[in-house]
Structure 1
Amino acid sequence: MVSSAGLTRRPLKLTALGLSAATLLTLASAGCSASVGGAPPCMPPEFAVSPSSAKAGDTVTVAAPDATCDPRYGADARISIVFIDAAGVEVLNSTAPMADAGGFTFTVEVPLQSAPGAMAVNAMPYGVDWCDDTGRNNRVAQGELQLERASCVLPTKPLNITN
């Protein structure tokens, strides 16, 4: 289309479509991009459950090494540990001390009421934005945080409960 001034005009629908596509592409790629300062998001370290099979009443350990990045959880950091048995019942919900870099060791007896089968063991930093895939370090902020899980999957490991 050519206006009376000789300038080319683009149809409004195509311009809006192009802007929408560009916006979606930017939003989709922003979730795991580097922060403004250039540092990538620092996720909690991978944890393990040992042993991988136990009976109700046996002792198990849930542990993680310090992260190789700098998550800065703070001096009073805690880890939340939740056990959900094969029947879908939450049989344990506890917290334990965690290092500033995310390392922790939590030893506990498998609750006696645990149903046999595959138990889900969840471990995540307590009271902070543990799912920081935004590139911002939300752990440094003072005061109470509004927690919102973005696109991270709940960190879960299996524990086989036998009779």
Structure 2
Amino acid sequence: MLAAGLIGAGIALTGCSTFGPGAPPCMPPTHSVSPSTVEIGETVTVHAQDAECDPRYGGSAEIQVIVTDSLGRKIIDTTAPMNDAGGFSYSFEVPEEAATGKAAVEAYPHNVDWCDDTGRNNRVSEADVSLQRVSCAARIEPLTITG
């Protein structure tokens, strides 16, 4: 009883839904950044393997990639192709205007209710919808930028 209450409280705090009968939860796959230390002008690759579950993002799925430098400025904010299972690979050159120091790299499914862990198709309709990110799905990988 206590364990069930704690699980329910954790779900309520994160804003994620529980899953009912059918498919188990299916969150976006984790991404990696390589290399983890670069100089301005060098190339960085953000990559994720396919999810071990079936997120069904669709044939036109995209990943949103945001890189924030040590001064808190978004130096990359773009989308790139992602496959139906959430796998992707996106490379970029660190721009000259990037501040040196610790940067943050985020990658998450674009235009998808990505806190929906029910396992059903969760592509957002074409309607103009504003999504709010919740902490349960936010993942940041570090990137060190040197001069």
In the superposition, the TM-score normalised over structure 1's length comes to 0.75
Q: Mean Cα displacement is larger for which, 62-71 or 146-155?
A: 146-155
Which residue is equivalent to 2:72? 88
Q: Mean Cα displacement is larger for which, 124-133 or 136-145?
A: 136-145
When residues 44 and 26 of structure 1 are mapped into structure 2, their CA distance, relative to the original with a 3 A threshold, is: closer
Superposition deviation, residue 33 in structure 1: 7.0
TM superposition outliers: structure 1 runs of 4+ over 6 Å: none
In the superposition, the TM-score normalised over structure 2's length comes to 0.82
Is 1:99 the counterpart of 2:80? The answer is no
Please provide the CA RMSD for this pair: 2.4
State the percentage of identical aligned residues.
48
Contact 1:87–1:115, Cα closer than 8 Å, also in 2 = yes
Superposition deviation, residue 139 in structure 1: 1.1
Superposition deviation, residue 39 in structure 1: 2.4
Q: Gapped runs of 5+ residues in structure 1?
A: 1-23
CA distance in 1, matches of 2:71, 2:130: 31
Asked which structure has the greater CA Rg, the reply is: 1
CA distance in 2, matches of 1:67, 1:44: 7
When residues 136 and 160 of structure 1 are mapped into structure 2, their CA distance, relative to the original with a 3 A threshold, is: same
Superposition deviation, residue 35 in structure 1: 1.7
Superposition deviation, residue 161 in structure 1: 0.3
Secondary structure of 1:28's partner? helix
Q: Give the counterpart letter for 1:139 in structure 2.
A: N
- Residue of structure 2 aligned with 1:51, choices 12, 35, 57: 35
